[in-house]
Amino acid sequence: MTERVSLSRRELLQVAGAATAALGLPRLGLGAQAPAPPLSTQTMMGVPFEARDIVRVGLVGCGRRGLSHLGDLVGIEKLEIKAVCDVVPEQVAKAQALIEKAGQRRPEGYAKGDHHFEELVRRDDLDLVYIATPWIWHAPMSLAAMNAGKHVGLEVPAVRTVEECWKLVETSERTRRHCVMLENCCYGWNEMLVLNMVRAGMFGELLHGECAYDHDLRAIVFENASEGLWRRAEHIGRNGNLYPTHGLGPVAQYMGIHEGDRFDYLVSMSSPEAGLTDYRKRRVPAGDPKWQEKYDCGDVNTSLIKTTRGRTIMLQHCVANPRVYDRINLIAGTKGIFRDYPARLFLEGQPGDEKWTGLKAQKERFEHPLWKRLKKVARKSGHGGMDYVMSWRLVECLRKGLVPDMNVYDGAAWSVPAPLSEESVAKGSAPVAFPDFTRGAWKAARKA
């Protein structure tokens, strides 16, 4: 039986806002870091999936993101969706109709309350459970699925606390089930091309990266449906980088994190909170329960990460102000620099005096094979095609018995800046050490 979380979806919406306190969980990593637990069995680094001809999937979470995933999954060959789950019966019905329309058999639906997912993960006809739910449910759902013998595809961020990171790692190691965080940004056309350039040595010795999640989400977090029912509550009682993985994931891959380097420590600081309060003042009518909320998360959080090899990373978060969408996506080395939004490149020796060039000239040599193969279909999918490429690749790894591109240690390391940044902010921007979730296995360099 999976661990139960005492906070229900309805309680989460209460403006007392202390979701963490209601859960009875520790204060998001605050306090001294505990020593790493001993390796529970064997590492999951380099461990392949078991090969299979058909991949059988269960989906937990049929909201905006879950239905988007379904739209991609139903178009992937040799994949069957056996079950879908959501606390809202109407969303389960939408998912079932979408699957039937695509020509698959109607999956079984689970919509009887907050813990009905526990029955779904115990089914004996599932290989992989996709989880696309509010962040507070990521840990208990992933743990339940792995303990029931299922691999997990988990939406971002993987978890919210240091303790939850360790639970994912230990459970994955003990059960020998993979927990793959669904970081779609690692599968963007630009990101995969630049990764190939990095691995070919085009930027020389890597020195510095910059990344962010700058996205005006005010309308979404204040809506009375979907993410507005829970995401605003994350800004109550928390102050740090709440959503680090979209920007950090690609930069971590460029730098070979867990392939000869790892995150060592960070320092973090937050601006004042003003954006959500101002938006509420202008857009929310008097008497609405939202007026009882107090938002604690600073509008702009900036964190600096140092790696064990001495490299530096600047990581930012801003979702409460007018912004043009930007993940920065910068990587710099001794031979050149790339910076996205818009994509631009400068390499040592290129024609022109300190003038940026685009990626067009690099396409023939460095475009990733996945994009060459999937581009026509992928471009019809969400987020410019990266969603489809991500799901297609995960299914391919399952079918062919390959090692997944990202493992549970990546999901933990890319998510843990959230609680670590909160700790650093609370301590006046003091340095905070990263746990070594791999227990030293990161030292092995990537195999060519």
- Distance in angstroms (rounded) separating the CA atoms of residues 291 and 239: 19
Residues 6+ away with beta carbon under 8 Å from 296:
235, 236, 237, 238, 239, 273
The answer to whether residues 319 and 235 touch, using CB atoms and an 8 Å cutoff, is: no
Whether this prediction's pTM lies above 0.85 is answered by yes
Label residue 40 by pLDDT band (50, 70, 90).
Answer: low
Element containing residue 344 per DSSP (H, E): strand 344-347
Asked which of 119-128, 352-361, 434-443 is least confident by mean pLDDT, the reply is: 352-361
Dihedral sign, CA of 106, 148, 390, 50?
negative
- The CATH number of domain 50-182 is 3.40.50.720: yes
- Is-same-fold flag (50-182; 186-369+408-443)? no
For the chain, the structural domain boundaries read 50-182, 186-369+408-443
pLDDT of 148 higher than 50: yes
> Exposure pattern of 324-341 as b/e (b: 16+ CB <10 Å)?
eebbbbbbbbeebbbbbe
The token pair at 415 is: 């998510």
Dihedral sign, CA of 50, 54, 55, 59?
negative
Residue that the structure tokens 């409460």 belong to: 320
User: What pLDDT sits at residue 137?
Assistant: 98
Residue pLDDT, tens place only, 339-385: 999 999 999 998 877 899 999 999 999 999 999 999 999 999 989 99
User: What pLDDT sits at residue 33?
Assistant: 56
- Distance in angstroms (rounded) separating the CA atoms of residues 340 and 318: 17
Residues 6+ away with beta carbon under 8 Å from 86:
60, 61, 62, 63, 66, 92, 95, 110, 111
Label residue 144 by pLDDT band (50, 70, 90).
Answer: very high
Residue that the structure tokens 């609370």 belong to: 426
The token pair at 174 is: 């003990």
Whole-angstrom CA distances from 168 to 73, 187, 210 are: 25, 23, 27
pLDDT of 329 higher than 80: yes
Residue pLDDT, tens place only, 261-299: 999 999 999 999 999 999 999 999 999 999 999 999 999
pLDDT of 16 higher than 70: no
- 58 strand-pairing partners: 83, 129
Query: Which CATH fold topology does 186-369+408-443 show?
Result: Dihydrodipicolinate Reductase; domain 2 (3.30.360)
Residue pLDDT, tens place only, 392-426: 999 999 999 999 999 999 999 999 999 999 999 99
pLDDT of 37 higher than 80: no
